[in-house]
């Protein structure tokens, strides 16, 4: 997989997690543990995206 494809894949996963956070937060009784876990995953992906951007540049 090229670095550009990897970066694109990471960005898609980041957006997917953002959607999951939004959906969970809009539930009548959101699961705080799930939201917290998703936010951690999102931050890890953001770090991975930034590292991938450096490699592509």
**pLDDT tens over the chain, length 57 residues:** 688 899 999 999 999 999 999 999 999 999 999 999 999 999 999 999 999 999 877
Residue 49 belongs to what H/E stretch? Answer: helix 32-56
| Boundaries of every domain in the chain | 3-56
**pTM of the full predicted structure?**
0.88
Helix (H) / strand (E) containing 12? helix 3-25
pLDDT of residue 29: 96
């Amino acid at each position: 997989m090229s670095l550009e494809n990897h970066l694109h894949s990471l960005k898609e996963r980041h957006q997917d997690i953002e959607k999951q956070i939004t959906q969970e937060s809009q539930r009548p009784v959101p699961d705080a543990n799930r939201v917290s876990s998703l936010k951690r995953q999102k931050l890890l992906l953001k770090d991975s995206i930034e590292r991938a951007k450096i490699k592509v540049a």
